Structure 1
Amino acid sequence: MLQVLAGYCTTRFGAKWFLAVAMTVNSLACMAIPYMAAKFQSEGVMACRVIQGLSQGFFYPSVHSLLGQWAPTSERSQLGTFVYSGAPFGTIISLPLTGLISASDWGWPMSFYLCAVIGLLWVVWWCFAGYNNPSHHPFISTEERFYIESSLGHLTHETLPTPWKGMFTSMPMWAIVIANFGQCWGYTTLLTEIPNYLHAIIGYDVKSNSLVSAAPYAAYWIISLAIGPISDFLINRRIVSTGTGRKIFNSIGVCGPALALAVLSYIPDHEDLLSVMVLVFAVGINGAVSCGYQVNHIDISPNFSGILMGITNGSSNIFSIIAPLVVQVIVIDESDKSQWRIIFLIASVMYVLSALFFNLFASGEIQEWNQPKPKEIKADKFRNFDNYMVKEKNGVNAKKIEEEKV
């Protein structure tokens, strides 16, 4: 529910300051962890983590709201993947770096202080450099502003009524929800349970090797960045439609890991290197979803993409809890490979079913409920760039006349 609220607030009031406050709270809670651990032991750490989790509930809806205002249609895949590639890239850097810091004379608390300071520095930079939309940016050129806003198909920045009924009766929206369900289940299995499997079955401890732990995230980062330009190229050249492109890359991103999980469950116990390579491939190819369902919110409703992200991502997080619980029920003996096989096959089926649903009902077209009805539109709509420039020029001239009068 918090992510839905975050999506509503960022859509109605703009995402800039919500994102700044959320990152500030997250960073301060991170900085407090060493003190809280020393003062209150595990309870103190858990309190900090709860605060961090609550603040992070604003991250994805805020970012999606900003992308809905700033990402031109022709560059949507590239910008979306570039923005969200920051998460795996941060993991790639932090895993080995925190290991080195913890092993040094500075000790493990310095890892938390460093991450907190980086977060706070970003907040300072964001307060000066971040803007809710092109019309609020003081230095953007008129041409660039027109290019972005006209490509999105909405030039009004009036506060629009949220079309709740339209959203919840929209099959393209539900296609994103189901795709997110399958992704959460499978991704949780990949990153939390496979390392346990490798340790219990073949005696390979991925978690103790920070470089190996970072390898799946590195593969995800590289593949997501590479696929973004390919997706935009295919769509912009009209080789495939936007909807078809989203379905293709979403299918690659979820069916690849589904196949890898099925294969992993049958790999001989002594093939530890092969098992790790399959893990890296599974997580890496999953990066293709960044050009699939993950950016599809903006395709169908750029005006309400933050709310859609809050609904879809917030509701799907329940599967990040359910998936580990299912493991606890089924895997009674961690050394029994047949029990792990059931877990991997369940995750594979979840991946495939979510992909099928997405392929059947997803769309790449802006939905009717994204726009207000004609009688509700209060802002001017510019049919072409010449009219847009005339409006801009008249506005500037009027401002000058008022200043001269004063």
Structure 2
Amino acid sequence: MSKEVDKSEYTSVSQNVKIVPIKKAPTIGHRHLQAFLYFLMGFVAFGFRVCLSVNIVAMTDPLVNSNPDIPTYPHWTKKNLILSSFFCGYMLPQIFAAYVAKKYGAKWFLVGTMTVQSLLSFLTPFTAAHFGEIGMMISRVMQGCCQGFIFPSCAHFLSVWIPPQERSRIGSTIYTAGKGGTLFALIITGLLAASSYGWPMAFHFFGVCGLGWCILMIIFGYDTPQEDSRISCVEQEYIETSLGYTQDAVNLKTPWRKILTSVPVWALLAAQTGSNYCFWTILTQIPSYMNYMMNFDLKKNGFWSAMPYLVFWILGTVFGILSDWMINKGIVSRGAARKIFNSIGLLIPACALIALGFTRSDQTTQAVALLIIAVGLNAACFSGFAVNHVDLSPNHAGSLMGFCNGFAQTSGIIAPLMVQLFIHDVRNPLEWRNVFFLAAAVNIVTSTVYDLFGSGEIQPWNSVESEEDDKK
């Protein structure tokens, strides 16, 4: 079986993919190795994102910085703008990233962008010292651009490597890798910032991790099963049959008009935006909340800020396995499973955030427990909307992820700015209550929209036949 195949010629054209693999696949195969590489990418990428959320406290508060020889910048007044500037860059390449992943493969674009981000991370202490807040904003915008390639590439990867019957557990594992990276980054950044090396060491550490991932991807990464010279014929045949692969000369164009007029797509977009708003509200502000409301020191801050993401990481895998089991056993339809887990991931955290709004500064145990519920159960969304792009359109999953993720990431810009609007005294619990109530309301509204209008079925505009009908 030849491995030299044009990846653009392979499309899943079946309108309703019937999962009938001709042979049993290896329990552990090369699809899992590729999934592990994408998992590591998400893990490291979120380390870059989260590092600054903790370090910004040490960078701007001399009382927190344990090493007097490390510079601090207490005069900085645009901390929330620095945090949100990442998403200004993150939104920009989403559609382009989906296009290049589908047309040329994602491997070398991911290696290149991860290399650039690693170098920018190394240079962050220099940037802060010589270019101040403006320099930090520009650096974060550039890092956001680099990470804009990640999720469209993940969606494309799932559509060409992972059979539908494995998609929930492998997809949720890949997408929750970021939360594992968040957990790790919150802990390690707090420890490094509190050490004699100070906050610059955290930026250097993640720079090394990023370059290490690039080396692994260069050696072991492949864009498609057809390109993988090490994959067995049995596994390749299993993947292709399960996905309904066929070699077709038609180079599918993305049907943007049909995508933009598709009700399930807009329902998916609503759920993704709502989940992102809640996630980034908590992630960007939890270190400040722990520091100023719960009075935790930097080491304890990093540890307790990380605990909700440990639960998230564990539950993400559990929910993925449970979702696949329910679908494969015929207990619920694919669409029903997506809505059930999406509701768990948005509505229960909304209740926890409302309760958190009434928590006093001396109720540290209750606050941490509610944050664990709010963040941990959000993992169910990764068996909900997060894998729904591939459900709706295997052929255009990368483009669909690029569109939805690009738009949804506006919440990453808005969330820190809304916090800045609401909070003028970081020790005032009433102001924090407004922040939590708004995030809860967003969760409830967007969950309702998805439950009413979402779908788990492949859409008509996915197929080659649909494109050919448009040309007639």
Q: What's the counterpart of residue 171 of structure 2?
A: 80
- CA separation in 2, counterparts of 1:202 and 1:252? 28
User: Which of 441, 450, 464 lines up with 1:372 in the alignment?
Assistant: 464
- CA separation in 2, counterparts of 1:215 and 1:182? 22
Please list, as runs of the form range in 1=range in 2, the aligned pairs for 1:40-189 lying within 5 A after superposition.
40-104=131-195, 106-156=197-247, 159-189=251-281
Describe the superposition over 1:80-134 as per-residue Cα deviations: whole angstroms up to 9, x where unpaired: 1111232122222233333434444555434333322221121122122111121
Q: Is the 2:287–2:301 contact (alpha carbons within 8 Å) kept by the matching residues of 1? A: no
Q: What's the counterpart of residue 299 of structure 1?
A: 391
Q: TM-score, normalised by structure 2?
A: 0.74
Q: What's the counterpart of residue 245 of structure 1?
A: 337
Over aligned residues, Cα RMSD in angstroms? Answer: 2.4
Q: What's the counterpart of residue 441 of structure 2?
A: 349
Q: Is the 1:18–1:62 contact (alpha carbons within 8 Å) kept by the matching residues of 2? A: no
- Which has the larger displacement, 249-258 or 86-95? 86-95
- CA separation in 2, counterparts of 1:278 and 1:248? 21
> 2:381 aligned with 1:284, yes or no?
no
Q: Name the aligned partner's letter for residue 259 of structure 1.
A: C
Q: What's the counterpart of residue 324 of structure 1?
A: 416
Unmatched tracts of structure 2, length 5 or more: 1-91
Cα 1:146–1:306 shift into 2, 3 Å: same
- CA separation in 2, counterparts of 1:157 and 1:91? 41
Q: Is the 2:291–2:301 contact (alpha carbons within 8 Å) kept by the matching residues of 1? A: no
Q: Is the 1:252–1:288 contact (alpha carbons within 8 Å) kept by the matching residues of 2? A: yes
Q: What's the counterpart of residue 326 of structure 2?
A: 234
Q: What's the counterpart of residue 26 of structure 2?
A: none
Q: Is the 2:461–2:467 contact (alpha carbons within 8 Å) kept by the matching residues of 1? A: no
Cα 1:286–1:76 shift into 2, 3 Å: same
Determine helix, strand or coil for the equivalent of 1:212. helix
Q: Is the 1:206–1:213 contact (alpha carbons within 8 Å) kept by the matching residues of 2? A: no
Describe the superposition over 1:318-374 as per-residue Cα deviations: whole angstroms up to 9, x where unpaired: 122223333333444545444433332222121011111111111111111111128
Q: What's the counterpart of residue 382 of structure 1?
A: none
Q: Is the 2:122–2:204 contact (alpha carbons within 8 Å) kept by the matching residues of 1? A: yes
Q: Which runs of 4+ in 1 moved over 6 A?
A: none
User: Which of 332, 350, 369 lines up with 1:258 in the alignment?
Assistant: 350
Cα 1:40–1:328 shift into 2, 3 Å: closer
- CA separation in 2, counterparts of 1:37 and 1:196? 20
Describe the superposition over 1:271-297 as per-residue Cα deviations: whole angstroms up to 9, x where unpaired: 221111111121111111110101110
Q: What's the counterpart of residue 385 of structure 1?
A: none
Please list, as runs of the form range in 1=range in 2, the aligned pairs for 1:192-231 lying within 5 A after superposition.
192-197=284-289, 199-201=291-293, 203-204=295-296, 209-231=301-323
- Which has the larger displacement, 58-67 or 98-107? 98-107
Q: Is the 1:198–1:206 contact (alpha carbons within 8 Å) kept by the matching residues of 2? A: no
Say which structure is richer in helix: 1
Cα 1:205–1:141 shift into 2, 3 Å: same
Determine helix, strand or coil for the equivalent of 1:49. helix
Q: Is the 1:300–1:363 contact (alpha carbons within 8 Å) kept by the matching residues of 2? A: yes
Shift of 1:219: 1.2
- CA separation in 2, counterparts of 1:48 and 1:128? 29
Q: Name the aligned partner's letter for residue 451 of structure 2.
A: N
Determine helix, strand or coil for the equivalent of 2:464. coil
Q: Is the 1:297–1:308 contact (alpha carbons within 8 Å) kept by the matching residues of 2? A: yes
Cα 1:14–1:376 shift into 2, 3 Å: farther
Q: Name the aligned partner's letter for residue 119 of structure 1.
A: G
Cα 1:51–1:175 shift into 2, 3 Å: same
Q: Name the aligned partner's letter for residue 186 of structure 1.
A: C
Determine helix, strand or coil for the equivalent of 1:134. coil
Shift of 1:56: 0.7
Determine helix, strand or coil for the equivalent of 2:396. helix
Q: TM-score, normalised by structure 1?
A: 0.85
Describe the superposition over 1:158-195 as per-residue Cα deviations: whole angstroms up to 9, x where unpaired: 53111111211111111110001111221122223455
Percent identical: 42
Describe the superposition over 1:236-281 as per-residue Cα deviations: whole angstroms up to 9, x where unpaired: 1111111111111110001111010111122344322111111112
Q: What's the counterpart of residue 383 of structure 1?
A: none
Cα 1:325–1:106 shift into 2, 3 Å: closer
Cα 1:98–1:162 shift into 2, 3 Å: same
Please list, as runs of the form range in 1=range in 2, the aligned pairs for 1:18-57 lying within 5 A after superposition.
18-57=109-148
Aligned length: 377
